[in-house]
Structure 1
Amino acid sequence: MAKLRKMLGDPTGPRAKALMALIDTQSASTLGRWAAAYAEERYLPILSRRRSGQPVDDRFATAIKQAIACADGNATLKDAKPALRAALAAARETGDADPVAQAAARAISTACGVIQTPTNALGFAFYGAAAAAYDQAGLSADSAEYERLADMEFDRIIASLRHAAVDDEPHPVKVRWNC
């Protein structure tokens, strides 16, 4: 059995570089809306399945709604920040007893933070890749299988952002990548 990591993916690999290049072409609002919606669609269901019939912490759904409202101009960042902090706290409280739930919770809270910190658009992908790989393969697969599934999730993430991307975005984010 491979040692389970909190994040999966190669930060210097071609998928991460492709995602970074695409992020650089989009505005903070486009990235924030896309990331929160992707997390809601992809990682909230994973977290829900891992809760064994118990409801998912409302702080995740609230943060998603606030991030999208902020991206759409229906709320200010000041309005959204308490919900973003609450989702981060909820992710920390998930603990590490269930690596799938932990990765999904971190992916959601990090995705919601994209509206405030555009580089989170890359960070949530690494957490999300772990959540998707562990959810699909279970907790006792080998590292090669996890990496294969993480690559597939990165491909889904890149395709999703390409679909959400605004052509010739007039106000792209200015990111200094440190990886």
Structure 2
Amino acid sequence: MAKVRKMLGKADSTYIISLMRLIETQNNNTIIKWCNEYANEYILPIYEKDYPNDLRLKNALNAVNEWLEGKIKLVEAKKFIKEVQVAAREAEKKPAAQAAARAIGATTATINTVTSSLGLAFYGAASIAYSSVGVNEQAYVYDEIAAKECKKMEEALRKIAIIDEPNPAKINWYC
């Protein structure tokens, strides 16, 4: 098996920069909601394909929703999120599932650190690429998939974005 990249895309890619600029215009809850909804719809099924009986990722996504709705405290949600990191380590022999777990780990961690939202792009693109074309393709194939997927992520955020958000998240990307 080829050496598998943990994530796809680069911080200086035009599609990543475009996504970052849009994220910067939104408040924390909008960013968290977007990450969670996208991961639930597009990333979780990739993990569940290989691990249909493992509920840790789904439970973490649900915990974030419950936190957003004010039903549970942050400390409770973090317990579920921590389990996603364990699931990612355990999935090392399944690259698409492992990337999906990493993506969900990053997106659910957005409730604590909003810059983790970029993990959806980097790890999410990897999970989608590996689940659709495997791990033995040329680099340009993965780059094309990452660009396409990140554009799709940006479109999803635009659909729920608050125009002229009065309280955008304070973000320092450090990249």
State the TM bucket, normalised to the shorter chain: over 0.9
Aligned-residue CA RMSD in angstroms? 1.5
Deviation at 1:2, TM superposition (A): 6.0
Q: Tell me the equivalent position of 1:142.
A: 138
Unmatched runs of 5 consecutive residues or more in structure 2: none
What is the TM-score normalised by the length of structure 1? 0.91
Equivalent residue for 2:89, pick from 89, 92, 104: 92
**Cα deviation 1:43-72 (Å, max 9, x = unaligned):** 111112233xx42x2111111011112223
Kindly report structure 1 stretches of 4+ aligned residues shifted beyond 6 Å.
none
In 2, the alpha carbon distance for the partners of 1:45 and 1:103 equals 12
Matched-pair contact (CA < 8 Å) for 1:29–1:72: no
Give 1:119's match in structure 2, choosing from 115, 133, 138.
Answer: 115
The residue that corresponds to 2:55 in the other structure is 58
Measure how far apart 1:154 and its partner are.
Answer: 0.6
Kindly, what percent of the aligned residue pairs are identical? 39
TM-score for the superposition, normalised by structure 2: 0.93
Matches of 2:108 and 2:68, distance apart in 1: 10
8 Å CA contact retained: 1:111, 1:120 = yes
Q: How many corresponding residue pairs?
A: 175
Specify the alignment match of 1:154 in structure 2.
Answer: 150
For residue 119 of structure 1, give the secondary structure of its aligned residue in structure 2: helix
- Whole-Å separation in 1 of the counterparts to 2:40 and 2:157: 14
Instruction: Give 1:153's aligned amino acid.
Output: E
1:36/1:111 contact within 8 Å kept: yes
Per-residue CA distance 1:111-164 (angstroms, 9 max, x = gap): 111111100111221000111111111222111111111111111111111112
The separation in 2 between residues aligned to 1:74 and 1:142, in whole angstroms, is: 46
Of the three residues 103, 108, 129, the one matched with 2:104 is 108
Does 2:162 match 1:166?
Answer: yes
